Amino acid sequence: MHPNALLEMSCELLRAVLKLDAPADSVVSAFFRQHKGLGQRERHALAETTYAVLRRRPLWQHLAQSGRGPTERRLAILAWQGNDTFLRGALTPQEQEWLAQVQALDQSGLPPKLRHNLPDWLAAPLLERLGEDQFWALAAAMNEPAPLDLRVNSLKNKREEALAVLATANISAEATPYSPLGIRIPGKPALNKLELFTGGGVEVQDEGSQLLALMLDAKRSEMVVDFCAGAGGKTLALGDSMRNTGRLYAFDVSGHRLAALKPRLARSGLSNVYPTQIAHERDERIKRLTGKIDRVLVDAPCSGLGTLRRNPDLKWRQSPQAIAELQVKQAAILASAARMLKPGGRLVYATCSLLNAENEEIAQQFEAAHPQFAKLDAAEVLAKAHVARADELVENGYLRLWPHRHHTDGFFAAVWEKR
């Protein structure tokens, strides 16, 4: 494809994504479905350029003011993630001169907003929580793409075996530092051709998400509920932990998300999972299980702000008002899920948010209103689940994962036992 044609395509994709009226990943997928003739390298350049613009949108918009031509074209040129020589082939002499001038600027003197690239409502609580140095380390980590993490399906193979298979396929990989089941791969190699992946030997799952499933510590022959199962990454991990015995209910309000779990379930070899669509957290199906369940995982609907390395559009699509609405939902879901537990049962509340408002505040409200639930120390729970260096992962007895410290997505989890 001619360089200019690809750059124009990048502008078209950016115009669609920057409306911010739908998740960026779904807009990018729809765009690629429309343009089936694009090669792997072209898709990579288009997708990564789009995400690079979203990560540093305020900076690029500020720098783009000085150029000429359509704004999207200037943004795409500044954030281009493809081959540099290829890009130069698409630029006019004036554009080349402009780009060289912009690249020569010292960005260290720019205002903080153009260096951290976070909206004010999000930057303020994070700065207060973390302090100056940690805040800037987090902001830098959030603007880098995430690696690819896999969870080994222990029903099918061991981590050492999976690493050996990847090495044979010339895919560089290493064991994750905390999860005993995790593998980390830099970059984005095509795994969907590998028998290890198609045969269900590994699943794509962030190391932080693996730790949430390990905290529930689901055992053989138990009755377990994954309350907000979504596309089921944690459901599969729980089924593995139960050694494919007992009953594992995967509840979700979205039939579409549960449908996405079906092919993953088939690959995994699990037969103890019961995907169930519910209308809301007070659904009759949930009431029927009151007091009958051994363990419940509540991976609550949240802002998703811990996943900004993968979903940078969220920081522009979320708002303080949306967070306030989510808090009401989180509290209601947690209270409803708690009713299903037997005495002695374990409850885990988790989010992929960085904000106290969705995390500690919800957990502490729940504790105050439900004295029969005793908080367990997350470090002890993780250590029992063979998680390495568990103390590094815990603040005030809660699991607290940060992209800049732990190289995972941002996660929170609280764990309680019903007295």
CB crowding 111-141: b at 16 or more within 10 Å, else e: eeebbbbbbeebbeebbeebeeeebbebbeb
Angle, CA of 312, 313 and 317, to the nearest 5°? 135
Q: Could you give the maximum distance between any two Cα atoms of the chain, in Å?
A: 73
133 is known to lie in a ligand binding site: no
**CA distances for 109 relative to 105, 112, 132, 133, 135, angstroms:** 10, 9, 16, 17, 18
Report whether 179 contacts 167 (CB < 8 A): no
Element (H, E) at 232: none
CB count in 10 Å sphere of residue 274 = 11
Write down the catalytic residue from 11, 228, 302, 352.
352
Q: State the Cα–Cα distance between residues 233 and 265, nearest whole angstrom.
A: 10
299 among the known binding-site residues? yes
Separation in Å, CA 32 to CA 26, 155, 257, 260: 10, 35, 21, 19
- Indicate the helix (H) or strand (E) that contains 248: strand 247-252
- Token pair for residue 129? 């929580």
The residue among 205, 401, 231, 403 whose CA lies nearest residue 309 is 403
Measured between alpha carbons, how far is residue 182 from residues 151, 174, 176, 216, 243 in Å? 5, 9, 5, 17, 18
- Rounded Cα distance, 249 and 218, in Å: 12
What are the backbone angles phi and psi of residue 247, rounded to the nearest 5°? -130, 130
Specify whether 11 is catalytic: no
CB count in 10 Å sphere of residue 21: 9
- Residue identified by tokens 């130069």 is 88
CB 277 within 8 A of CB 258: yes
Which residues is 295 bridged to in the sheet?
224, 346
Choose among 115, 117, 191: nearest CA to 147: 191
Binding site for S-adenosyl-L-methionine, by residue number, is 252, 299
Positions marked active-site = 352
Binding site, by residue number, is 252, 299
